[in-house]
A and B are shown apart, each in its own frame.
Chain A
Amino acid sequence: EDQVTQSPEALRLQEGESSSLNCSYTVSGLRGLFWYRQDPGKGPEFLFTLYSAGEEKEKERLKATLTKKESFLHITAPKPEDSATYLCAVQAWSNTGKLIFGQGTTLQVKP
């Protein structure tokens, strides 16, 4: 069964304190892995797509990486405005019509 697990569930950082969020997945033929940011009471906002192991994508203070079993979202020198829930999702070649989401990591960055 295709599955996505994110850790930790919650993360508190001081402003400037870098860290990483983990997304472990099992899927029968990965077509793509996606990262989203979700602010409270809002819909998720797309951040990155990764397709193959070794691939990296960057956007401002965020960098996403992918291996054959997991993905990391690295946050460098975070700011309070980076506080949000970060969601990971996978898409399998066997069913490109749907994404399977993890439960998310809620990040709080304190000034």
Chain B
Amino acid sequence: DGGITQSPKYLFRKEGQNVTLSCEQNLNHDAMYWYRQDPGQGLRLIYYSQIVNDFQKGDIAEGYSVSREKKESFPLTVTSAQKNPTAFYLCASHSGLAGELFFGEGSRLTVL
């Protein structure tokens, strides 16, 4: 079945450590996204990529980094510069101008 796979589902990090969240899609979608979700808040855009080897900052990119070396993959690194990284992270994709995003199951990051 086609879809988006995020891993790990749960991740614990010590302060000062970088961590990388994986996102893989087999939908042949061009565009991929990373959102952050905090309790009681909507989804906030971190980074997005509309084509391989290109990506743009979203509204809350500080303390995060991404790469898009392959169409299928869009990993997110949460760096030690991110002041409050504990959150639920969602990866999504869509094809062309179609607005419907397809989401992964999410990764919950907790900083100890």
- Whole-angstrom distance between the alpha carbons of A65 and B6 in the complex? 33
- Whole-angstrom distance between the alpha carbons of A46 and B102 in the complex? 7
Range, interface on chain B: 20 to 34
Per the 8 Å Cβ criterion, residues 65-112 of B in contact with A are 88, 90, 92, 97, 99-106, 108
What is the distance, in angstroms, from B29's C-beta to the closest C-beta of chain A?
13
List residues of chain A with CB within 8 A of the CB of B101. Answer: 34, 36, 44, 46, 89, 99
- Whole-angstrom distance between the alpha carbons of A61 and B102 in the complex? 22
List residues of chain B with CB within 8 A of the CB of A104. Answer: 42
List residues of chain B with CB within 8 A of the CB of A43. Answer: 4, 6, 90, 92, 103-106
- Whole-angstrom distance between the alpha carbons of A89 and B101 in the complex? 10
Whether B100 and A103, one on each chain, are in contact in the complex, defined by CB atoms closer than 8 angstroms, is: no
What is the distance, in angstroms, from B58's C-beta to the closest C-beta of chain A?
7
List residues of chain B with CB within 8 A of the CB of A46. Answer: 100-102
Interface membership of B11, Cβ < 8 A: no
What is the distance, in angstroms, from B96's C-beta to the closest C-beta of chain A?
9
- Which of the candidate stretches A12-20, A66-74, A76-84, A90-98 sits at the interface with the other chain? A90-98
Highest count of chain B CB atoms <10 Å: which of A9, A36, A98? A98
A87-B105 CB under 8 A given contacts A97-B50, A98-B48:
no
Q: A36-B101, A89-B43 are in contact. List 9 more A-B contacts (CB 8 A).
A: A41-B88, A43-B92, A43-B105, A43-B106, A44-B43, A97-B50, A99-B45, A99-B99, A99-B101
